[in-house]
Amino acid sequence: QGKGVDVRDLGNGEFFTVAAQVAKGVQQDPSSVKGMLFCGTGMGVSIVANKFKGVYAAPAENEDCARNSRAINNANVLCLGGKLTAEADALKIADAFLEQEFTSPPGGYMAPFWSSDVESFLKETPAEIRGIEEEACRAPSEEVKPQEGKPSVVVGCDGFGEDLKNAVVQHLQGKGIDVRDLGN
CB-based contact 10:30 (threshold 8 Å): no
**Which residues, including other chains, have CB under 8 Å from residue 51's CB and lie 6 or more apart?**
23
Helix (H) or strand (E) holding 35: strand 35-39
Query: Rounded to an integer, what distance in angstroms lies between the CA atom of residue 55 and that of residue 100?
Result: 17
Within the chain, what is the greatest distance between any pair of CA atoms? 58
Query: Rounded to an integer, what distance in angstroms lies between the CA atom of residue 102 and that of residue 69?
Result: 9
Does the annotation count 65 as an active-site position? no
**Of 134, 183, 136, which is closest to residue 161 (Cα–Cα)?**
183
Query: Per DSSP, what are the bridge partners of residue 77?
Result: 35, 57
Q: Which of 39, 65, 137, 157 is catalytic?
A: 39
CB-based contact 59:42 (threshold 8 Å): yes
Spatial strand order of the sheet with 35-39 comes to 35-39, 77-81, 57-59
Residues annotated as part of the active site = 39
